[in-house]
Each structure stands twice: as structure tokens, then as C-alpha cells.
Structure 1
Amino acid sequence: MTRPPLLLPTLDLPRPRQRIVDGRYRRDPRAIACEESHERLRRVEDVEGFFRPAIEEICRRHGVPTDRLRKFARGFNLVYGAGEDLVVKLYCGYFPEDCDIECASLQALEDTAVAPPRIVARGELEGWPYLVMTRLQGVELSTIWDEIDEADRIRLLRDVGAAVADMQAVGITDELRPWIVDWTDFAAHQAIDAADRQSEQLAASWVAQIEPFIADHLPLVPTQTTPVLLHTELVDAVWLVQQRTGRWELTGIYDFADAMVGDAGYDLAAPPVFLGRGKADRHRAFLEGAGLSPKVADEAWRRRSLLYLLLHPYSNLAWYMKVAPPPPRVTTLEQLADFWFAA
């Protein structure tokens, strides 16, 4: 693939509609083609040479040195480290709202203990939005989770829970208001094709249970809820940790490009899977860190937590089960909910 004469590829497909409009979450069917187009660009053989001139231009605009640029592998959008102190994030031009919601989220969390990156500069290059942000120190929690002691895991899960609670306690600013989701409508809409969104790697015996499970448990979704800021992607890789005085400590959280505002329980479902992995004492630590009694994890809580995972726009039950494998005795979604979310 040859790079066009401009610094960035021409957006040759219609830009999708914003995913949240008047409280209604809808993925424009055109978004799939745009995502596939962007992924093809990210997989070109010389992706560094393809996008680096644009990153260098952004750096020049804001006086950021370009001699230590390094592309990060993770994420849909393009992220480059600029030395030890700064990060440049270039958002796909098809989805400018990713930059809008990330910017609104980071500003809302600026003076909290959650410790997200701070915005240094914001702009646009040839229709592609970008942010220059401070760089969080540390490594992704996912890279050390299997190597640390269980006592450290329990302690870090309490810290993760506390960080989620702090994030959900921030006020909904004017900048965040466009991202408030009508929660009942969101759940009903996401239920429509939930089974079809699953990976082809998911066994047919599990796929067949998804629609009945959702139909049975959709009434557990609250019709009245206090909207809070949701990261929506609280997997193990978005948390950064660093060793301090001989032990691992949380240093922050990043990547709010898919954030929205909705029911608090939605963001309480991923950490017990990606970090708890079916161990009740870990889930208890997470809940306690979030200021909740483990007694909240009753049958309804457990079913609703799995329901939220299945309603997620990018739900991937096969991946979740690879991260937190259930024992052979677990053969139904109800049993899976009990395994992952018991406390």
C-alpha cells in the first residue's frame, strides 16, 4: 500500500454517524467498513513509515522532540510515546468522537486519584483529531499479573476497585453530557444481535444459550439509574503499575476513547473476570475497594454482571473464557456467572 501525498490517508468512505445521539446508542452500519479500512492501514508492512511523518508534524506543532518516538502496539487508535514524559495519540478520522469523549473524560478526572494522563495539547491534522498527553509511568498490569504473589493481587484489586469508585464519583460535566446513554434503550438495543457479535471461536453450545439468557435476565437492568462516567474497557491492560519501595502500586489508567455515561454496574463486570478469574476472595477485594459489601454479589448481581458483558458492543465471550477458564463442571451461562462473580 502506497501512502498518499498527504501526511495521512484520505478518508475514502462516508464518515459514520456519532454512536450516541440524544441518549441513544447506535452503531452506524457504516462504522464496520470504516473500522476494517482503518485496521488495514494499521497492518501495512511499514506502518511506522506510513504514519510517522504525521506524528512528527504534530510534534513540531507543539515543540515535542521527535528523536525518541516509539509506537505502542495496543489499541485501535495510533499512540506514540515521545520520550519518557509525553504521548501523542492520533484518532482515526472516521471516528472523531473518540477524541471528544476521551478529552471530556480526562478533563473530568483531572483532579482525582484515578491518575489518568493530562492533556497538553489538542488539535486536528488533515481531518484526524489528536491529543498530546502526559505519559503515565509503569507497565501494564496484564504483563505482571501472573508473576506476582496472591497477596499483591488482592491488594491491587482493592486499589482497582477504589479507582473505579473514584472515577464514578466525578460529576457529569457539560462536556460529558452528550455521552449520557438512555440505559434501558441501550440494553434493549444491544440485546438484539448479541449472539451474532460473538467471535467465531465461541463454541456453538455457548452461543445457543446467549439469546435465552439475555431474554431471561434483561429485566435485571435498572430502569432508573444515576448516570456515572464509564470507561467501558476495564480489562487488565488499561491499568499501569510501577514498583515502589519493593511492591507494585497502581500509577494510573488510560484509553477513554470508548467511554460513555451510564449505569455503574457496567464497569464493575470486567475486572472480576480479567483480574479475579473466578476467585471469590479477589472479587471480594475488588468490591471492598469500590466501597461495596461483598453481600451485593447475590444471584441477581452475578447474572446482571454477565449480562453486561454480553451486551458490550465488542463482547467476546471466547476471549473472556480464555482469560478466566471455567472448570469443566460449568456448562451453562448461569453457572458461568456464579463462577466469575461469586464473592
Structure 2
Amino acid sequence: MSGPTLPPAATREAFLAAREQASRLREAVAALAQEHGWSDAVPEPFDEGSLPVFAIGNDLVVKLFPPAWPEAPGIERAALDALAGRLPVATPVLRAQGVRDEWTWLAMDRLPGWPLDQVWPSIPREQQLALMRSLGACLKVLHGLPLGDTAILRPDWPAWLADQRAHVRERQAAKGLPERWLEGLEPFLDSVALPTDVEPVFLHTEIMATHVLALPTGGAWRLSGLLDFEPAMAGAPEYDFASVGLFVTEGDPFLFDALLEGYGMPVAARDESFQRRCLAYTLLHTYANLPWFLDRLGEPLEGPSYEALARRWWALPARA
């Protein structure tokens, strides 16, 4: 294939170097757009996200998957096929796919709306709460969808969880977690009873404000889209609340409570045990990075206490 080429990215290190070659990535995507007759518009990169994504005009996006993660495009394809038209909000529809310079690319619809993190400060408080209830309801629908033939999304959940647990200390130590936090990490996880016999459900795994879109309609904001499904998998439903607390409600008790209300969780179940499980799933998460989370959301006043951390990051309103 002639024209601009994508940089080598067969390893994580090579991919990180490739991400720095923004103009080369853009030129290759522009060539793709020209070859397929999509648009003459200059591809515009999205700043957020772990993978390169470019807007092609107003209607299309192209997502690039490096050869370092050969399973990722198959997961995204399977997830989008399984979700098509089944959620209360829009999800991307796959329009074309292919391989270029060993990178897999997917072209999909550009969803309407703005990421919540870009518009959140301008949204009135009552509408913020309403959006959280809508997001909770959307999550409930997601978790109730049949997994069908999406075998690629279905690891052996108990075995996967056990493997995450077996390596949790070394992974967080490698990310620079201070010893004052490391020493309590495994005792905390040992104290939390995570069910291993749950029926796996469809998980997004990275419900973040940047992946949730909203639009103003009739004088009020409404959810309009949910995107970024390459980390999707099947597992315990509470696993999805890890990213919700870290990247959507961010310790706001009323926002988190509104989301759980929309999800249909009984008030009695919104307790300290639930908060502790949310933190446990966070520590075992595929992309767990506790030093970054602590820097982003702050440490509890009580010091390096995982109990206090669970109450702070998944805060709930005081109830009589």
C-alpha cells in the first residue's frame, strides 16, 4: 500500500513512541479517508483515550489499534455488535474496518453530544443529578443484556480475579505506590468478600466522564451516547462502579447516590460493605493505578486508610 505509513508499534514501548508521532498518525488517517472516499476534512485527533482516535468531519471517527494489542479490535467489534440499538443511549455503529501497516483500524459513527467532563460545570445541579440517574439506568440495561456469542468478552471471571489478586502488590509497587499504602493493601483485600459465583454480565469497565456524552435538548441536558468499548469484558456488575466513582461522581455523595438510584439499587444495599467492594474492584482493576488515583482525588484525612478511602471516593449521603 502506497502513501503515508503508520509507525511500528509491536510492543508497548513502541506504541508509546508512536503516540508521540502525531503528524504521522494524522497523515496515515487522512490517506485512509481519501482512499475510502469518506471526507476531505483534515482528521482531528481526540486528546483523551489510550488509543489514537480521529474525527473525520462531523459524522465519522477512525480508531487505531496497534499490533501490540491484537485482541483489542476484536473486543470492540464484538461489543459494538452486541450493543447495537440496545441501550437507552447511542453507541458507535461500525462502518468499515481494515489493517494498515499491521495496525487495525475501525471506522464508526461519530456520536452526537459532548463528553461530560467538557460541559459538566455549565450544567445546573438538578440536571447533573438527573443525568446520573439516567447513567445508572443505562448501566442497569447494559448489565442485563445477553452476552450471546461474545465469547471474546468472557474470561474465566474467578480465575481472572484470582490472578489480579495474586499480583496486586507488585503491580502497584511498580507504579510507585508508597510503602505506607503498600503495607495495608493486601490486608484490606483479604478483608473484603468479593463474590466469585456471580453470573457474569456485560461490563464497559471504564465508565468515565470522557466516555459519556450529553446534549442540551428542550432546555435540559440528556445523555446522548456511550463510547470506547475496547476494554469491555464480562464479570461482576459491581466492577463497573470502580470507574464510576473515580471518574464520574468523584466522591460527590449525592451524584453517586443518584446514579445508584437510577440503577435500581435498594437504599439498604448502598452501605459501607458496598463501598469497600467498589474499592477492592478498583485495586484489582485491569488499569489500576493507585498512586495516580490518590494524586487525582486526594488522600483521606485519616492517612493511609483503605477503609477511609472507600468512604471518600464512593461517598454516600448520611442517612438516619
- Is the structural similarity TM-score above 0.5? yes
Instruction: State the Cα distance separating 1:77 from its structure 2 match.
Output: 1.8
Contact 2:207 2:248 in 1 (8 A): no
Change in CA separation of 1:322 and 1:159 when aligned onto 2, cut-off 3 Å: farther
Q: Is residue 319 of structure 1 aligned with residue 292 of structure 2? A: yes
Distance in 2 (CA, whole Å) between partners of 1:144 and 1:209 is 38
- The answer for the alignment partner of 1:36 in structure 2 is 13
Distance in 2 (CA, whole Å) between partners of 1:95 and 1:134 is 23
1:98 alignment partner AA: A
Distance in 2 (CA, whole Å) between partners of 1:327 and 1:301 is 18
- The answer for the alignment partner of 1:8 in structure 2 is 6
Instruction: State the Cα distance separating 1:200 from its structure 2 match.
Output: 4.8
Q: Is residue 55 of structure 1 aligned with residue 53 of structure 2? A: no
TM-score when scaled to structure 1? 0.84
Change in CA separation of 1:155 and 1:322 when aligned onto 2, cut-off 3 Å: farther
- The answer for the alignment partner of 1:76 in structure 2 is 50
Instruction: State the Cα distance separating 1:317 from its structure 2 match.
Output: 2.2
Aligned length: 313
1:242-253 to 2 correspondence within 5 Å? Answer: 242-253=215-226
Distance in 1 (CA, whole Å) between partners of 2:217 and 2:170 is 45
Which segment is superposed worse, 287-296 or 142-151?
142-151
Distance in 2 (CA, whole Å) between partners of 1:323 and 1:249 is 27
Instruction: State the Cα distance separating 1:256 from its structure 2 match.
Output: 0.8
Q: Secondary structure at the match of 1:269?
A: helix
- The answer for the alignment partner of 1:26 in structure 2 is none
Distance in 2 (CA, whole Å) between partners of 1:185 and 1:316 is 21
Which of 21, 24, 40 in structure 2 is aligned with 1:66? 40
Q: Is residue 265 of structure 1 aligned with residue 263 of structure 2? A: no
Q: What is the identity percentage for the equivalent residue pairs of Structure 1 and Structure 2?
A: 33
Which of 272, 276, 279 in structure 1 is aligned with 2:252? 279
Distance in 2 (CA, whole Å) between partners of 1:255 and 1:207 is 31
Change in CA separation of 1:53 and 1:281 when aligned onto 2, cut-off 3 Å: closer
Q: Deviations over 1:68-120 (max 9, x none)?
A: 32111222222110111111111112212111111111111111223111111
Change in CA separation of 1:71 and 1:277 when aligned onto 2, cut-off 3 Å: closer
Query: What is the alpha-carbon root mean square deviation over aligned residues?
Result: 2.2
1:166-245 to 2 correspondence within 5 Å? Answer: 166-174=141-149, 176-198=150-172, 200=175, 202-217=177-192, 220-245=193-218
Q: Is residue 88 of structure 1 aligned with residue 86 of structure 2? A: no
Change in CA separation of 1:173 and 1:114 when aligned onto 2, cut-off 3 Å: farther
Which of 281, 285, 297 in structure 1 is aligned with 2:270? 297
Q: Deviations over 1:292-331 (max 9, x none)?
A: 1132122322211100000012212233334433551364
Contact 1:109 1:115 in 2 (8 A): no
Q: Which runs of 5+ in 1 are unaligned?
A: 14-33
Q: Deviations over 1:272-307 (max 9, x none)?
A: 332323232222211111121132122322211100
Contact 1:232 1:267 in 2 (8 A): yes
Larger helix fraction of residues:
2
